[in-house]
Amino acid sequence: MPANTIKILQYRITACILVLCGFLISCEPEGAFIGKYNAEGKMLQGVPDQVIELREKGHGIWRTGDEETSFTWNVKKDEIRLHLKLGGVIRGKINKDAMTVILPGPKTMVFKRDRLHH
C-alpha cells in the first residue's frame, strides 16, 4: 500500500475514534435516570399525586392518583422522550435530580427525583 493511502486510513480511523468518544461522553447512561420522580408545583392544587417511574430497559409508568399510563422512554443528552402506549410523545429535560416535561397547552411540570426509592 502506498504511504499516502496509509496516512489517509490513519486519519479516517482517528476521526472515527474521536467522533465515537465524543458521542459516548455526551450521552449519560440511561441507568443513571432510573427511579421515581414526584411532581411538584402550584399547578397541582386539587390534582391527585403524580409520579413518573423510569424503569430498566426503557420502560416506565406515569401514575396520577389511582390511574396508570405505561410508556417507553429514552434520553439523548439532556432531553427525555416519553413514548406513551396510547400514542404520542412527551418531551422534556432531565438531569440526575429532576425532570421537566412539556405538556400540551403548553404547560410544564417539574418532577423531583425521589432519592429514597431509586
Fold of 30-117: Lipocalin (2.40.128)
pLDDT (0 to 100) of residue 34: 93
Q: CA angle, corner 72, sides to 66 and 73, nearest 5? A: 110
Per-domain residue ranges for the chain? 30-117
Are the C-beta atoms of residues 87 and 104 closer than 8 Å to each other? no
The CA dihedral of 33, 52, 72, 103, to the nearest 10 degrees, is -110
User: 2-46, pLDDT tens digit by residue?
Assistant: 777 776 766 566 654 644 444 444 444 668 899 999 998 755 566
Of residues 89, 77, 66, 90, the one with CA closest to residue 22 = 77
